[in-house]
Amino acid sequence: MVLHGSEVKSLRNGRCSIEEAYARFKDGELWLVDCEIDEYRNATFWNHPAKRMRKLLLHRRELDRFAGRAKERGLTLIPLRVYFTDRAVAKCVIALCKGRKLHDKREVLKKADARREIDRAMKNRQRRT
């Protein structure tokens, strides 16, 4: 990953969120989008924007392989983890993922709704006793 100095300090403090992040190809390079690395409090005016596109460094062979699979099958590149190596290099583990179909989304929403109803019923039951 290509990072600024204040981003490295913030990452070392564990101030990174990759929950809504994904990777995108742009001009033959791979970029990490919507990865939020909080501002480092002590960096003052040298601070970085929290949500900016960050370039991911890959070998050309890996880049071509990811690009081919993502385009031909309609898969999405998702970051799984960001970590530091022994040599203090920030790395990002990326996976190819397939999105949910419409019927799968509906099923997940039904299950979440049922779970919420059960939790509410249990909570109301505890209040009565």
Q: What's residue 4's pLDDT? A: 83
Q: What does residue 3 show for φ and ψ, rounded to 5 degrees?
A: -130, 155
Q: For 23-46, what is each residue's pLDDT tens digit?
A: 999 988 999 999 988 888 887 777
Nearest-angstrom CA–CA distance, 95 and 75: 10
Mean pLDDT by groups of 10 residues along the chain of 129 residues: 87 89 90 90 78 91 88 85 91 87 85 94 79
Q: What's residue 104's pLDDT? A: 81
Q: The pTM is what?
A: 0.71
Which tokens sit at 114?
């049922």
